[in-house]
Amino acid sequence: MTIIHKSKLSRFFLWATISFLIGSLAFTLLACVNTTFISVTPEKAKEIAASKAVVYLDVRTVLEYTDGHIDGAVNLDYNHNNFENSLASLDKSMVYIVYCQAGVRSKNTLKIMWEMQFKEAYDIKGGITAWQNAGYPVI
Tens digits of residue pLDDT in 25-57: 444 444 444 568 999 999 999 999 999 999 999
Do 62 and 120 fall into the same domain? Answer: yes
Calculate what percentage of the chain has a pLDDT beyond 70.
75
Do 82 and 106 fall into the same domain? Answer: yes
In a domain, 57, yes or no: yes
Do 24 and 50 fall into the same domain? Answer: no
Is residue 42 left, alpha or beta, with left meaning phi > 0 and alpha meaning psi from -120 to 50? alpha
- pLDDT confidence bin for 7, thresholds 50/70/90: low
In a domain, 138, yes or no: no
Do 62 and 97 fall into the same domain? Answer: yes
pLDDT at 63 over 50: yes
- The boundaries of the domain holding residue 90 are 34-133
Alpha helices in the chain (DSSP H): 6-32, 42-51, 62-67, 83-88, 104-115, 127-133
- List the CATH number of the domain containing 95: 3.40.250.10
Q: In the prediction, which pLDDT does 70 show? A: 98
Record the pTM.
0.76
Do 44 and 25 fall into the same domain? Answer: no
Q: In the prediction, which pLDDT does 6 show? A: 60
